[in-house]
Homo-oligomer: A and B are copies of this chain.
């Protein structure tokens, strides 16, 4: 399947999250071209600092597939995964991670903590995950703009 298809599902998840007052992030996990799970950021709503969209999608996918290990899965994230989410992808044995905007883009909107790029995490962690950034980046940047315009701010 085309990566744009997966990213559009992640963008839709982010939009749902924005509508309910969440952060401008969304994620979708596909396996053999089929959607397994999608999620938005729900840190504040659920009082869970780990409830980034990628971590939530990984949890949902594990529950759905009946295994913590999401081999053969591709994870689509509207923004480059933070080190927590990158590492969660590693532990979940996800094959590919595709993202839209970059950590440096997020930083321009004030989201500038723990800015360790995924490629750096891969290199220093001797990891094998496949990474691809910049897919539908402009649409993903629009999420930040919408969030910013509606008064969004980093915690």
Contact = CB atoms under 8 A, between A and B. Distances in A.
Contacts of A84: 83-84, 87-88, 90-91
Nearest to A56: B50
Interface residues of A, number: 41
Interface stretch (A2-10, A109-117, A137-145): A109-117
A124 interface: yes
Nearest to A51: B68
A125 B155 CA distance: 17
A58 B47 CA distance: 10
A70 B50 contact: no
Nearest to A83: B87
Contact of A50 (B58, B86, B120): B58
B68 A58 contact: no
A56 to B, nearest CB: 9
Nearest to A67: B47
Given A49-B58, A62-B47, A90 B114 contact: yes
A46 B55 CA distance: 14
A59 interface: yes
Contacts of A82: 87, 91
Interface in A112-155: 113-116, 120-121, 124-127, 155
7 contacts: A47-B67, A49-B68, A50-B88, A84-B90, A87-B114, A114-B125, A116-B125
